A and B are shown apart, each in its own frame.
Chain A
């Protein structure tokens, strides 16, 4: 597998890798169909010391999220007089990729922290708790493409688990173009060798998009299709997300009522 690179060289560069990413019968390299998500496993409330937490496995991705707050802001001068300060740290563990990654926050991680925070902020009632901070910590334990999306999905669950009032959960899923075909939920390999990647975050009940990015090249028509594909992926993922949040309580209820 190629090592994780920081910059993506795409845009009209002819494909160098002769390997077929999609077989004739529309099967992708990992055996999925074009519109099929990777297998997901989500757990809520996995950490005892955080106010809220969640864990996701999406394909080979493994991500932990923890939430603290609302609490007094440190350092004090950062406090906002009219709303809570939402802070987010996206971090990849040194062992999360094939070649050891330096544990210091890279340019990419700083950017993703901001992007994830901005994707989650519209869902949180920050105006309810002025002069406080809500801190989100996202730790990528193992990465295989689409970590920003999976990170948004778990972080949203961790916020809900912390008991922070929210307008809606936020789910995220990517769509993209690989071998000239539109596909959903790209792996690392598909992301790098493919032509385009469109991560999208959605508040499913409000039907509102909180994150929309594109890397690579798509025609207007393809872009629209990719967005719709990503939205469908989000809705599918939302079922798992909601189930995970509920299952924590349903399990107790069933055990007691037996």
Chain B
């Protein structure tokens, strides 16, 4: 594996496109990452032929593209994402939902009700009220208008019970793990149901508060140590140790 990578960097030199950082190296905004014919990926930008980092994160690249895996960022809505949000306002034709993004999302009453929506006949607060938590999906969004949500899909709707954990949205892929390895491990070890919102909110439903507490601990550990290697093993180890501790007590 390592050998392969060395060969690649050799290729870069031949093509006269210098790179100034190794993979997984920590960079800060403004760090000059590469010069030449690369594509500036996530959390980087291009000025003439020079590519700079725009966030704190870890460098990663392939033959054509260089990007930075951010260590801290906020959620930017994207169509198709499942997100967890909180109702902050009940309007005349729908609800305003805080989805932990720079923009408030809208949930239209017509998309929630089965029957035609009428101002007099439909009592919106009785369906969702301010403070209610929802699992929703983004169905439309561009930066000129606020994101639009839906709850008309299986698995979506009001959250009745469970615990919420907030992590930095950029760490969601790490929480899921490669092909879901991390999350399925946590589910198995703690026997909790876990719903992940792409906006950094995670819902945990366990049989006992103790199970939920374990899952919360695991998620916090992932967030804190997301930029280290061998994390799945560390988390598994921690969970097993904690479980034993509980059984003995």
Contact = CB atoms under 8 A, between A and B. Distances in A.
A98 interface: no
A131 B144 CA distance: 8
A196 interface: no
B103 A249 contact: no
Contacts of B144: 130
B32 interface: yes
A249 B30 contact: no
B45 A167 contact: yes
Interface stretch (B10-18, B67-75, B118-126): B67-75
A189 interface: no
A245 B27 CA distance: 9
- The size bracket of the interface on B is 20 to 34
A224 B31 CA distance: 27
A205 B51 CA distance: 11
B210 interface: no
Contacts of A257: 228
Interface in A85-131: 123, 125, 129-131
A65 interface: no
Interface string A135-178: 00000000000000000000000001111011111000000000
A246 B55 contact: no
Contacts of B26: 246, 249-250
Interface string A56-91: 000000000000011110000000000000000000
A32 B31 CA distance: 31
Interface in B54-97: 54-56, 70-74
Interface in B95-110: 102-104
A206 B224 CA distance: 31
B218 to A, nearest CB: 15
A4 B196 CA distance: 54
Contact of A168 (B52, B72, B74, B103): B52
Contacts of B52: 167-168, 205-206
B30 A165 contact: no
Interface in A160-210: 160-163, 165-169, 203-206
B234 to A, nearest CB: 7
A165 B29 contact: yes
Contact of B102 (A132, A165, A256): A132
A163 B28 CA distance: 11
Main secondary structure, interface of A, reads mixed
B26 to A, nearest CB: 5
Interface string A11-33: 00000000000000000000000
Contacts of A253: 225, 227-228
A169 B103 CA distance: 26
Contacts of A203: 30
A169 B30 contact: yes
A114 to B, nearest CB: 23
B29 A168 contact: yes
A165 B43 contact: yes
A256 B234 contact: yes
B236 interface: no
Given A72-B104, A130-B144, A166 B55 contact: yes
Interface string A224-258: 00000000000000000010011001101100110
B55 A165 contact: yes
B28 A72 contact: no
B55 A163 contact: yes
B29 A249 contact: no
Most A CB contacts (10 A, CB to CB) among B28, B71, B104, B143 go to B28
Nearest to A45: B72
Contacts of A129: 102, 143
What are the nearest 6 A-B pairs in CB distance?
A168-B30, A163-B73, A70-B102, A205-B30, A166-B29, A163-B72
22 contacts: A69-B102, A70-B102, A72-B104, A130-B143, A131-B143, A132-B102, A160-B55, A161-B56, A162-B72, A163-B55, A163-B168, A163-B170, A165-B29, A165-B45, A167-B29, A168-B29, A205-B31, A206-B30, A250-B26, A252-B224, A253-B227, A256-B234
Interface of B: 26, 28-32, 43, 45, 47, 52, 54-56, 70-74, 102-104, 143-144, 168, 170, 224-225, 227-228, 234
Given A70-B74, A163-B168, A166-B54, 7 more contacts: A125-B45, A131-B143, A206-B30, A246-B28, A249-B56, A249-B71, A252-B228
